[in-house]
Structure 1
Amino acid sequence: MTSYNDLTPALPSSPSLSSSPASTDHDPAALELWGGYECTVNRVGDRWFDQTPRSGHEHRLDDLALFAGLGMRSLRYPALWERMSPRSPDEIDFRWTDERLPEMARLGLNPIVTLCHHGSGPAYTSLVMDNFAAGLARHAAAVARRYPWVRDWTPVNEPLTTARFSALYGYWYPHTTDEGLFWRALLNEIDATRLAMREIRAVNPQARLVQTDDLGFCHATPPLQCEADHQNERRWMGWDLLCGKVVPGHALWERLCAFGLEERLRAIADDPCPPDVVGINHYLSSERLLDHRVERHPHRAIADRELGDCAGIPYVDVDAIRNHRPGVLGLPQLLRQAWERYRLPLAVTECHNGATREEQVRWFVEVWEGAQQLRREGMDLRAVTAWSLLGSYDWNRMVTRHAGHYEPGVFDVRSGRPRPTLLARVLRDLAQGRPAQAPGLEAPGWWRRESRFIDAPAGQAHVPVAGHSGGPAACDDGAPLLIVGDDGPLTHLAQRACEVRGLRHVLAGAGSALAQLRACRPWAVLDARDRDHVTRPLTTVPEPASGRLPALARQCAELGVPCALFVTAVGGAAPAPLPSGVLVARTGPVYLPWDRSARAVRLLDALDAGQAVAADAGHPWTAVYGPDLLDGVLDLLLDGMDGEAHFVPLESWTEADFARQLALTADRDAGQVTAHGEPLPPADAGAAGRPTSYLPPGETTLERFVRESRLARVAGEEAVQPREDEVRMEEAH
């Protein structure tokens, strides 16, 4: 957590209320683009997890200009209690927000200020303590007095979700798993919201409450339908309480009264605080399935592994989109439910898909177009919010520990500076009223393919799109990706990645590449020839990079067509000079999950067979998982990135380290691994000049590798399908 010594500096000049971004002219009939960066501060034990410094936004004021450049109207932005008053409620540090909120006003960005985002408050309170509501209200009053021109507020982001994760499931502080304390935590958050808005409106009577929460739906197998019915009532409780709907006769009134909460419920109902905008956060994992057939789900994602129990019946709680064949309701239907229930203005306040670039674009465009249709039907739906503008860290582990798993958002910050992704270009078009255009947009998203189901037959992962052959007809359906290849594993991986991702492509050999380049007018070229032999066995030392730029890359540069190629990360520099538009992927030796001769695969096979494994403690592990490599390169190519990109393991593991981590990931005994050789000297993790790697952390890679290699062992390569839904599980359970 950030802490400061010199508190409460003098107040700088602030924009007047009349000059705030909210008062600028705009077309009220248009669907607005809003934005938000992942600003969670959650507590696990005595440790706080703060996304703002992890993304680098802590020290980059110019990020705000990048956000404004997307054409968005409003920006969800933090003035978090934990960050501003970490030690005492009597000490509040405005320096960070003093610099940023006026800058947002100058840029024409209307702030939607959040005071608590998945947190439990500073160390001197918690969600279940009596001082939480009054403490947040005090913080709200101070912030409102400091910035009286701010109109839109979210005192507590996702109160129901936060209460579940903190007090019902025990993931976050105060780590309780007690239903009574869960309801107490929720009522504390609702009281905090009511009291905060009272203080804010005493400063600015025009202030609006934008109340966000996750909205999903719980499906169930018949023995668990009663639990699903309860959860489907419970999902409304945050908004119901604020709207004064939780009164005698409400479906959950008696349940809460049984926990001794009747007096508090009546006080809330007598003094409600209805939202001015109901903010709907929704992810592809938001709709859940409760399934008592536990044996059907042996490969659950990390966030879904715990078993539940309902009246003595064990069950799994998994995403419905991949596990419920009757289908999900979908976001449009959920928005209709919210509209019918409250008849208040709505906004989609988080829209994000943790997936490959084209899938991120497909999801956002689908939500945007669905919102346009709902507005045409008469729904007062104000905006769609591009969430996770700077990406997010470790949400696949519910932000319970630092594993280093990063998923890019509208910008990719892995290099230390925000770099626009493909989604940034699409958002600019949508904000200006132009139709979205992006490679792969014509294909359905993974959530609309039959292959998404866990029990889908092997081989259904490939998306039927035109343009897989190398003939002229393959160019008739729009600009494809031109893959220039040989008969090696990189070319095979490139084709396979395009097929499972639904990217139209044409394959050409070196001899026909130039003719295809001119005939097809591709959006990009991927030179998937393995000139540096990076797919040789790990015992083979790759040849150093030649330093010469291939003729194909020079031809692409002359024609203005982006191009990517692979070189070894061992020795030498990337081909130089690099013209604009040329991306060079520097990679370590590549291994594949279906190659039973690969060292990583042989290690896993031996561990699964219960055999002892000898691994070298003096040999660095530099191998790269092939599917991760191709997904990463295609993402950067879609983003329009050029220059040099490193695909090397983030960790300084030896082969013995890799084998032990593999055993742990595979739920095998790490004692099966015997290290030999002289240990390597410890690496300096913070060594200056270490290149940015565009690979996932080793832990994430091993989870994917173990699953995919085991599938390939049983049913061959065709059984290996990507699991896009495992990347982000924020709204799981």
Structure 2
Amino acid sequence: MSADQPFPPGFLWGTATSAYQIEGSPLADGAGPGIWHGFSHRPGAVVNGDTGDRACDHYRRLPADLDLMAELGLTAYRFSVAWGRVLPNGTGRVNAKGLDFYQRLVDGLLERGIQPMLTLYHWDLPEALEARGGWLNPDSARWFADYAAMLYEALDDRVGLWVTLNEPWVSTVLGYLSGEHAPGRRSLAEPPRVAHHQLCAHGEAVAAYRELGRHQIGISLNLEPQHPATDSPLDWEAAKRRHHFINRWFLDPLLRGQYPDELAVIFGSNWPRFPVEDLRRIAAPLDFLGINYYSRGLIRHDPTQIPCAATRITPPERRLTAMDWEVYPEGLTETLLWVKQRYGDLPLYITENGAAFDDAAPVGNQVQDPDRVDYLRTHLAAARAALEQGVDLRGYFAWSLLDNFEWAEGYAKRFGLVHVDHATQRRTLKASAQYYRDFILEGELTGEKRK
């Protein structure tokens, strides 16, 4: 990699989305509802009572959105499949019309020279499976592997990059500990079992891919450095606990074949003993690891916060996003280097990186979002710094293509490079989209065009 070439040849430049956040039409053409459909319709579950019933109407506007991706100069696109759209009951009968949507999506990407990265699970478990215990049921691993195998057989001839699970930490902790996300449960005993069953599902899906697939498969995890808020020994210990809880809970079993001992201390009597054979299957070799990075954790000891006795604070002197997350690009470099140091030279992709800001309304055909432009610029520089220090980084996916349904925040938070008027569905490129397009096409990390 030469000094005038910010990123190596073949580096993938993409955006990322998820099915429930953009597709809309969750029950169209024979689809079965997912847990987010039911959860978003619960009174008080989502800001302003928003739901994903329409979202960005991507299911109906696929050709135009594909053209939008081509206009941005993307070389890759990461999307997820709505499990219930292709298997309305979660298992058994395939919904041909639902599968056809993803066939057309993949074909449309390839026609435009955009490489698909398919995520099998982005938090939308079919309601039919939730009724059978969902991720608390050990059978969930087999349900997931059968679903995955069906998609491998249908799409692996055209999809070269597969992601099993997106951020299982989030769907575990926010879905089963705090209750902020679907299915909205609150328990100290359930998260360890849910996380383990999701990891078993990942392992079963990887095993199925080794039999049926011909390309590459990995997983995407949310990672972030955990720093103490002060020099107090209590804050240092709290930050360590949060590090084990967030970063090592999933990485250690995936890449080292065991859970961190510290989790048994954090969860106490709620931490089960897991079969050794499960851990062997979970640790099946990966072709790559996806890293989703947004910010760092600045941590203060707080014994009222269960289970880590730690709380995340927002430093008033630092720039914050609309989610009250600190803008901390150096944490991306730190995270990439830590993964390399602890787990070896596994190929890495930044599968999500982005920020919500209170964007101005469109003026004509323009949306000015200077904060997001700066966020992109500084985080791309942080990715480049990791490459220079030997990280095997293969691609970068900005979150997100479109202003979408932001889970419990509804439509109140905008992460998109493209502004969406949710009343009219009109798309408008933001300045950040134009910056990213120019960067992809011209390599303008430092203002000098790629030679």
TM-score (norm 1): 0.48
Q: Which of 313, 316, 333 is the equivalent residue of 1:318?
A: 313
Per-residue CA deviation, residues 638-678 of structure 1 (Å, 9 max, x unaligned), is xxxxxxxxxxxxxxxxxxxxxxxxxxxxxxxxxxxxxxxxx
| Local SS of the residue matching 1:412 | strand
Matched, 1:308 2:305: yes
Per-residue CA deviation, residues 128-154 of structure 1 (Å, 9 max, x unaligned), is 222321111111011111112222111
Compute the RMSD of aligned alpha carbons: 3.3
| Local SS of the residue matching 1:379 | coil
Per-residue CA deviation, residues 369-396 of structure 1 (Å, 9 max, x unaligned), is 221222122211122211111112345x
Separation (CA, whole Å) in 1 of partners of 2:257 and 2:211: 25
Per-residue CA deviation, residues 173-198 of structure 1 (Å, 9 max, x unaligned), is 34333333111111111111111122
Structure 2 counterpart of 1:411, one-letter code: V
Separation (CA, whole Å) in 2 of partners of 1:281 and 1:108: 24
Change (3 A) 1:288 1:421: same
Give yes or no for contact 2:123–2:166 (8 Å, CA) kept in 1: yes
Show the counterpart of 2:70: 68
Matched, 1:387 2:392: no
Of the structure 1 ranges 167-176 and 97-106, higher mean CA displacement relative to structure 2 is found in 167-176
Separation (CA, whole Å) in 2 of partners of 1:260 and 1:366: 40
Structure 1 counterpart of 2:419, one-letter code: D
Matched, 1:427 2:432: no
Q: Which of 151, 165, 168 is the equivalent residue of 1:143?
A: 151
| Local SS of the residue matching 2:286 | coil
Structure 2 counterpart of 1:318, one-letter code: I
Query: How many correspondences in the alignment?
Result: 389
Change (3 A) 1:241 1:68: farther
Per-residue CA deviation, residues 465-486 of structure 1 (Å, 9 max, x unaligned), is xxxxxxxxxxxxxxxxxxxxxx
| Local SS of the residue matching 1:86 | coil
Show the counterpart of 1:234: 245
CA drift of 1:113 comes to 0.9
Separation (CA, whole Å) in 2 of partners of 1:340 and 1:215: 15
Per-residue CA deviation, residues 512-544 of structure 1 (Å, 9 max, x unaligned), is xxxxxxxxxxxxxxxxxxxxxxxxxxxxxxxxx
What aligned pairs does 1:633-652 form with structure 2 within 5 A after superposition?
Answer: none
Structure 1 counterpart of 2:83, one-letter code: W
Give yes or no for contact 1:244–1:272 (8 Å, CA) kept in 2: yes
CA drift of 1:211 comes to 2.8
Q: Which of 54, 71, 81 is the equivalent residue of 2:83?
A: 81
Give yes or no for contact 2:288–2:349 (8 Å, CA) kept in 1: yes
What aligned pairs does 1:279-358 form with structure 2 within 5 A after superposition?
Answer: 279-284=290-295, 286-290=296-300, 292=302, 308=305, 317-320=312-315, 330-343=331-344, 344-355=346-357, 356=359, 357-358=369-370
What aligned pairs does 1:134-283 form with structure 2 within 5 A after superposition?
Answer: 134-149=142-157, 150-217=159-226, 219-220=228-229, 222=232, 223-235=234-246, 236-246=248-258, 250-252=261-263, 259=270, 261-269=272-280, 272-283=283-294
Q: Which runs of 5 or more structure 1 residues have no equivalent in the other structure?
A: 1-26, 294-306, 439-733
CA drift of 1:159 comes to 0.8
Give yes or no for contact 2:164–2:217 (8 Å, CA) kept in 1: no
Structure 2 counterpart of 1:127, one-letter code: W
Separation (CA, whole Å) in 2 of partners of 1:201 and 1:66: 34
Per-residue CA deviation, residues 664-702 of structure 1 (Å, 9 max, x unaligned), is xxxxxxxxxxxxxxxxxxxxxxxxxxxxxxxxxxxxxxx
Give yes or no for contact 1:115–1:155 (8 Å, CA) kept in 2: yes
| Local SS of the residue matching 1:413 | strand
| Local SS of the residue matching 1:112 | strand
Bigger Rg, which one: 1
Separation (CA, whole Å) in 2 of partners of 1:251 and 1:88: 35
Matched, 1:130 2:153: no
Structure 2 counterpart of 1:106, one-letter code: E
Structure 1 counterpart of 2:91, one-letter code: P
CA drift of 1:422 comes to 0.8
Show the counterpart of 2:111: 106
Per-residue CA deviation, residues 56-98 of structure 1 (Å, 9 max, x unaligned), is 2121122112113322222111212133223352233213212
Q: Which runs of 5 or more structure 2 residues have no equivalent in the other structure?
A: 1-6, 22-33, 42-50, 320-326, 360-368
Structure with the bigger RCO (C-alpha within 8 Å, sep 6+) is 2
Show the counterpart of 1:37: 17
Give yes or no for contact 1:141–1:200 (8 Å, CA) kept in 2: yes
CA drift of 1:224 comes to 4.9
CA drift of 1:255 comes to 6.3
CA drift of 1:316 comes to 5.0
Change (3 A) 1:217 1:260: closer
Show the counterpart of 2:426: 417
Separation (CA, whole Å) in 2 of partners of 1:77 and 1:87: 22
